[in-house]
Structure 1
Amino acid sequence: MDMEKLKQWMDIAKNMQGGDFWNNIFDQDFAKQFMDDQQATQSFSSMKGQPRQTEKAEERSFPIIDLLESEQEVIVLIEVPGVKKENLELGLIGNILTIKGTVVPIYPQFNITYSERFYGEFQRQITLPDSVNPQQLNAKFWNGLLFVSYQRTIEKGEIIPID
Structure 2
Amino acid sequence: MQSNTDYIQNLIRDYPDFPKQGILFRDITPVFRDVKSLSLLGDFFYEKFSSIDIDYVAGIEARGFILATILGLRFNKGVIMIRKAGKLPGKTIRQDYSIEYGTAMMEIQSDSITKGDNVLVADDLLATGGTASAAANLIEELGGSVSGFAIIVELSSLGGSKLLQSKGYPVHPMVTYK
Considering the TM-score relative to the shorter chain, is it more than 0.5? no
Q: Based on CA coordinates, which of the two structures has the bigger radius of gyration?
A: 1
The TM-score, its normalising length taken from structure 2, stands at: 0.21
The TM-score, its normalising length taken from structure 1, stands at: 0.23
